[in-house]
Amino acid sequence: MKIHPSSIIEDGAILGDDVEVGPFCRVGHQVKLGNNVNLQSHVVITGNTIIGDNARIFPFASIGQEPQDLKFGGEETSLVIGNNCLIREGVTINTGTEGGGSKTTIGDNCVLLANSHVAHDCHLRNNIILSNNVMLAGHCHIDDNVICGGGSAVHQFSRIGRNSFLGGLAGIEGDVIPFGMMIGARANLVGLNVIGMKRSGIERASIKAANSAYKLIFAGDIPIRDVVKQLRETADDAMVIEILDFIDAAKDRQLCKPKPSNK
């Protein structure tokens, strides 16, 4: 381990092999850092926080602070971050709350760019990119391979399905279906994230089937639940079934939809 003499490692903190701590960092007594973690400088990690192997954390990141929730009463909550994560300047990540399961989680291979914020009780899966100034309110669930454009904001309790794309400055007020593409200040669904699907290795036939299902679900005047029920009778593609399951799943937010036409 290489620890700069200006940094404070509190008694009780557990540091893995080959950890490097630059100047003016503080690591709290409940913190556990995996192997090969690098804190560049002026990084604060506190609370009951676990960070996996190979994390790179840049200056002025504040990780594991208590949640920004007025109901929080100092109860024991936690934050768990997976392996190979990149956390850039000024990122803030809070622990959970008792009312939300007491835990915030971030998976493997995630990239959190400058000044992005992950609030209490959020659950991020793997291979997620939060661009600069992205804001996730409490209790958000972000699935694998999601890209959030710069300055986008996600309302509390929203679910963002896998391989979806949130455009820059998009305000997300509800759930986004898997592979959805959201564009606009108060964002509307504008189609599927076909480029992201191709990059993830999804077969052309599945992309075509998902596109056809998308048009049927959102293009007509028939209630979405009725269309979903009809599609289930014939759907045999895994991507289509995933979208149908997402829509049918229990949720706390309304479903994001395309902008109504001016017919």
Encode pLDDT of 8-45 as tens digits: 999 999 999 999 999 999 999 999 999 999 999 999 99
Q: How far apart are alpha carbons 50 and 183 in whole angstroms?
A: 34
* Cα separation, 242 vs 133, whole angstroms: 30
Domain residue limits at 110: 2-139
Residue 202 falls within a domain, yes or no? no
CB 195 within 8 A of CB 177: no
Q: What is the pLDDT at residue 263?
A: 55
Q: Which of 52, 96, 138, 150 is catalytic?
A: 138
**Would residue 121 show up in a list of annotated catalytic residues for this protein?**
yes
* Domain presence at residue 29: yes
Q: Is 108 a catalytic residue?
A: no
Is 165 within the bounds of a domain?
no
Q: Of the listed 34, 42, 64, 120, which one is catalytic?
A: 120
Enter the tokens of residue 42. Answer: 């002026």
The active-site residue out of 28, 100, 121, 174 is 121
3-state secondary structure of 30: coil
Q: Is 151 a catalytic residue?
A: no
Q: Dihedral (C-alpha) 7, 13, 16, 21: value to the nearest 10 degrees?
A: -10
- Could you give the number of structural domains in the chain? 1
Please report whether residue 36 resides in a domain: yes
Compute φ and ψ for 75, nearest 5 degrees: -65, 165
Residue 90 lies in a domain: yes
Domain at 115, CATH number: 2.160.10.10
Cα–Cα–Cα angle for 24, 115, 10, nearest 5°? 30
Residue with tokens 């399951």: 245
Note the pLDDT tens digit of each residue in 44-74. Answer: 999 999 999 999 999 999 999 999 999 999 9
Judge whether 163 and 144 are in contact, CB under 8 Å: yes
Does residue 47 lie within any of the structural domains?
A: yes
In a domain, 91, yes or no: yes
Task: Tell me whether residue 209 is in a domain.
Answer: no
